[in-house]
Amino acid sequence: MQHVLWLIPFLPVLGFAVLVVFGHRMGRRTIAVIGAAPAGAAAAVAIATAVSFLVAPPATHAYDQVMWTWFRIGAFAPRIAFHLDPLSLVMTLVVTFVGFLILLYSTRFMRGDEGYRRFFAYMDLFIASMLILVLAGDFLFLLVGWEGVGLSSFLLIGFWYRERANGAAARKAFIVTRVGDTALLVGLLLIFTKLGTLDIQGAMAAAQSQWAQGAAVATAAALLLMGGAIGKSAQLPLQTWLPDAMAGPTPVSALIHAATMVTAGVYLIARTHVLFELSPTARLVVAVIGAATLLYAGVSALAQNDIKRALAYSTISQIGYMFLALGVAAWSAAVFHFLTHAFFKALLFLSAGLVIKAMDEEHDIRKMGGLRRDIPVVFRLFLIGAAALSALPLVTAGFFSKDLIVDLALTSVHGGVWLWLAGVVGALLTSLYSFRLVFLVFFGERRGSAPVATRFPRLVVWPMVALAAGSVVLGWIELPVHWHGWSLFTDFMASALPVPGIRAGGLLDAIAVTLIPAIVSVAGVYLAWVLFGRRRPAVAGSLVTRPGFRWLAGAALAGWGFDRLYHVALVRPFLWLAHHGQRDWIDRLVSGIAGPAAALGGLLRRTQDGRLRYYLAAAALGIVVFVAVGLLR
């Protein structure tokens, strides 16, 4: 199967190219087939590859396929090459499989849109880029996918291009992530300059052998790569673009801004984990950023009234968990959470899309309520998603993955109590905001208009059922550490991602570590019921009237002022510079030389005033002077 790796990203590229070049002559049905089929075919190839990988593991624990040498300058010879190890394999499977399901959903969901062809073309471009990103064997080739997903994200956020606000959101997403990308690029410059290669495996091996533990250069390289990762994954302080990115169509939010693209940063750090193993500083920074982000975004999600923005903050928060895991060297735990998160968050977004459609493009949860009777199917699916997000014990996949992270945050040799505490508080916040959504949207009384659509086609519902199934059962492949059961996922990842060292702890520790997050998440659901679910939300009502709380809620709603800070500190000075520089002061300064030259010319011109007799007098005087000088020398 080694030789068909190229097919996986190529099929969506083909779909994209066909839609772009010939799409204007196609009907909707053809467009739907050409748009969705490549992802399905890629998923099939990926599954076949996975089977062959599992049945007969290659000796190197990876498939490598070199397409061609990109270029060769002296010793610098980056290659267009694919590298598939367990990490890439999981990413590839998720991207193709979830991507295919979402595309199936979109074939009906987007039916009425005039940009039908454009939508599928962009989606194919995205899937292709994402696959290149996760399969690339060379950093430079990885950048192709990395920026490709940024581009398609930009195109899809601004999909409804007539609205200026959508354009602004798209622009913001691209520019903010590009800030991180620049850090990534500088990091790659550093890696190449020091190690002499941009081949990912080669560079990692070289770093391992050449750089000492804790070397400053390793920290610098790791932090620069992390800059790229936090931009793409919307972590503090570059998180501001993701809530706005919800301006795009809902399937886009599900695929790009929840399941796959935003986890590219997690992938990058896991991929370059060697650098982070070498640098405790960088690891600590990652862990702190993750912990801070998950709390920050959890609180912000609690205050949102737009259902999609709430889910966006939830995504930021969940990726914060993944970063926390990366920070404590629990690499495979991060990837495991990525896997389950892709399923349940995509499910939540797709359900939210149906809710919004049912409410006739209404995003505000304050105007919903009682919908569980109107759209029971959507309610059940959303509930499954919310339960998985809240990590309700045993019945959801989210429990197993999040528990693993919270557990390792404490028990990993790189972990600590504070990180663990952040994870636990985050778990409380998570179930609180998840079930706030559930209770406000589906329970209580109807607060807005009646739903306009209550039945949805099978092609929309079945992909969601598949995602829901994944959200429930996927967790069982990896049991909590202290159960001493099986850990299929970590074992499978072991050849690509090392297992973190575990601090020895007593039985009490183990119970505390496993039980507390579970109790907390259930408690969060109960709290949400008390606050938002009961007929008379008395507690919430008394809270809301307090000025301090209102200020707090307003701040959380606005994402704690990051947008305003960036606007004042960066955007406004830039616009000021652009506005005042419009007439190009440097040019004016240089062209200013023309002024004195013209003045001098004006002076000289005065001598040529047309009075012949003065000309002649001057000429005579000149002759006299010359002759005099000649004679007197």
Partner 1 sequence: MSAVDPVYALGLAGVLFVLGLLGVLVRRNIIFVLASIEIMVNAAGLAFLAAGARWGQADGQVMFVFILAMAAAEVAVGLALALRIRRRFNTLDVDDLRKLKD
Partner 2 sequence: MSLVFLLAIPFAGGIVAWVAARWSAAACRWVALASAVAGLGLAVGLWAQHYHMWGAAVPSRSIYVEPVPFFSELDVPWIPQAGIRLHLAADGLSLVMLMLTFVIVAVAVLASWRGVRRRAGLFHFMLLWAAASLAGVFMAFDLFLFYFFFELMLIPFFLLVVLWGHEGRRRAAIKFFIYTQAGGLLMLISIVGLYFIHGRQTGTYTFDYLQLVNSGISGWTGRLLMLGFFAAFAVKLPAVPLHGWLPDAHSQANTAGSVLLAGLLIKVGAYGFLRFLIPLFPQAASDIRYIAMGLGVAGILYGAVMAFSQTDLKRMVAYTSVSHMGFVLLGVFAWNQIALQGVILQIVCHAFSTGGLFILAGVLEERLGTRDIGGMGGLWARLSTLGGFGMFLVMAALGLPGLGNFVAESLILLGTFSVSRPAAIVGSLGLIVSTIYALWLVQRVFHGPGGESKPGTPARLAPREILMFVVAIVVLLWLGLYPQTLIRTTDAATGSLLRTAPAMQSPEPGSSATEAQP
**Which residues contribute to the site for partner 2 (CB under 8 A)?**
20, 68-76, 80, 140, 143-144, 146-148, 151, 154-155, 158, 161-164, 167, 170-171, 174-175, 178-179, 181-182, 185-186, 189-190, 192-197, 210, 215-217, 574, 577-579, 581-582, 584, 586-587, 589-591
Q: Is 620 in the site for partner 1 (CB under 8 A)?
A: yes
The only residue of 3, 535, 580, 613 in contact with partner 1, by rule CB under 8 A? 613
The only residue of 508, 610, 629, 630 in contact with partner 1, by rule CB under 8 A? 610
Separation CA 294–CA 314 (nearest Å): 8
- Interacting stretch for partner 1, rule CB under 8 A, among 26-34, 506-514, 551-559, 603-611? 603-611
Q: How many CA atoms lie within 13 A of 166 on its CB side?
A: 14
Of 162 and 535, CB closest to partner 2: 162
Q: How far is the CB of 620 from partner 1 (least distance, A)?
A: 6
Return the H-helix or E-strand segment holding 69.
strand 63-69
Strands (E), 155-298: none
Q: Is 617 in the site for partner 1 (CB under 8 A)?
A: yes
Task: Choose the one of partner 2, partner 1, none that binds residue 371, judging by a C-beta under 5 to 8 angstroms depending on kind.
Answer: none
Structure tokens at 288: 């702190």
Q: Is 458 in the site for partner 1 (CB under 8 A)?
A: no
Of 569 and 617, CB closest to partner 1: 617
Of 116 and 336, CB closest to partner 2: 116
Residue among 101, 93, 119 nearest 28 (CA): 119
Farthest-apart Cα atoms in the chain, separation: 120
Separation CA 181–CA 258 (nearest Å): 19
- Interacting stretch for partner 1, rule CB under 8 A, among 14-22, 81-89, 220-228, 605-613? 605-613
- Interacting stretch for partner 1, rule CB under 8 A, among 356-364, 448-456, 514-522, 613-621? 613-621
Return the H-helix or E-strand segment holding 63.
strand 63-69
Task: Choose the one of partner 1, partner 2, none that binds residue 6, judging by a C-beta under 5 to 8 angstroms depending on kind.
Answer: none
- Burial label, 81 (beta-carbon count in 10 A; 0-12, 13-18, 19+): buried
Q: Is 361 in the site for partner 1 (CB under 8 A)?
A: no
User: How many angstroms separate the Cα of 34 from the Cα of each of 31, 98, 122?
Assistant: 5, 17, 12
- Burial label, 446 (beta-carbon count in 10 A; 0-12, 13-18, 19+): middle
Q: Is 606 in the site for partner 1 (CB under 8 A)?
A: no
Unique residue bearing structure tokens 């970063």: 323
Q: Which residues of 120-159 are buried (b: 16+ CB within 10 A; e: fewer)?
A: bbbbbbbbbbbbbbbbbbbbbbbbbbbbbbbebbbbbbbb
Task: Choose the one of partner 2, partner 1, none that binds residue 609, judging by a C-beta under 5 to 8 angstroms depending on kind.
Answer: partner 1
Q: Is 611 in the site for partner 1 (CB under 8 A)?
A: yes
Residue among 185, 206, 65 nearest 135 (CA): 65
Neighbouring residues of 507: CB distance < 8 A, sequence distance ≥ 6? none
Of 452 and 621, CB closest to partner 1: 621
- Interacting stretch for partner 1, rule CB under 8 A, among 23-31, 70-78, 260-268, 606-614? 606-614
Of 193 and 607, CB closest to partner 1: 607
Of 219 and 304, CB closest to partner 2: 219
* Site residues for partner 1 per CB under 8 A: 608-613, 616-617, 620
